[in-house]
Amino acid sequence: MHNRNEDASLMDLISSIEQMEQDASRVSVDNVVQAVGRRSFGPLLLVAGLITLAPIIGDIPGMPTLMAVLVLLVSVQLLAGRESFWLPGWLLKRSLSRQKFDKGIKWMKKPARWIDGLLRVRLPWLTGYIGIRVTAVVCLLIALAMPPMEFIPFSANGAGVALSLLGLGLVARDGVALLLGFALFAATCVLIVMNLV
């Protein structure tokens, strides 16, 4: 549920994003959502995590917060039982230059095949109905924590990796990846608390 079978790997997802319209000088959030699909919870999480992590793209001020809003809205709607995710026009219209986007995608492709080789169906009960909703709650907490993370070095990267692991876990039905995502988010929270105290 909420996973696209055709996007069963990270490389498949990147290929879907690469197949977007090539002529435009800018890439909008709407372009990416259309490429991934509005019913795809796992891929949307994965895209948000990768964008937060990617050099050039993720380094743009406010980008982690923008991705946090996307994750927050999608997670709340999943928990509310929606089959297709609604996103506001102002969020969908946000964009960045095609050149920066393509550089970020090129960077993502380098580790993608290696990561795909590590994924397999494990602990699939964690990716079922209840598991997806537990993941949505964790993603909600990540989204709420991401805006202040922009002011704490490397914490936004921790959130990006956690979202990527959760997205990969749902896409590949890999419960181990989900558990790693939960653990990484917990570790990131500890890092934030230590920096605030």
Q: Are 61 and 147 in contact (CB under 8 A)?
A: no
Band (99; pLDDT cuts 50, 70, 90): confident
pLDDT (0 to 100) of residue 57: 58
Query: How far, in Å, CA of 32 to CA of 85, rounded?
Result: 14
Query: How far, in Å, CA of 69 to CA of 67, rounded?
Result: 5
Supply the mean pLDDT for the chain.
Answer: 79
Residue 118 within a domain = yes
Q: What angle do CA 42, 113, 105 make, to 5 degrees?
A: 70
Residue 164 within a domain = yes
pLDDT (0 to 100) of residue 178: 92
Q: What angle do CA 63, 67, 68 make, to 5 degrees?
A: 115
Which residue in this structure is represented by tokens 């993608």?
112
Residue 133 within a domain = yes
Residue 95 within a domain = yes
Query: Which residue segment(s) compose the domain that 181 sits in?
Result: 10-196
pLDDT (0 to 100) of residue 2: 41
Give how far the C-alpha of residue 75 lies from the chain's centroid of Cα atoms, to the nearest Å: 11
Residue 59 within a domain = yes
Model-level pTM greater than 0.95?
Answer: no
Structure-model confidence comparison of residues 22 and 72, the more confident one = 72
Per-residue model confidence as pLDDT tens digits over 152-179: 666 667 778 888 889 888 888 899 999 9
Per-residue model confidence as pLDDT tens digits over 47-80: 888 877 766 555 566 677 888 888 899 899 888 8
Residue 19 within a domain = yes
For residue 54, give the nearest of 118, 11, 110 by alpha carbon: 110
Residue 135 within a domain = yes
In the chain, the number of structural domains is 1
Residue 5 within a domain = no
Beta strands in the chain (DSSP E): 26-28, 95-97
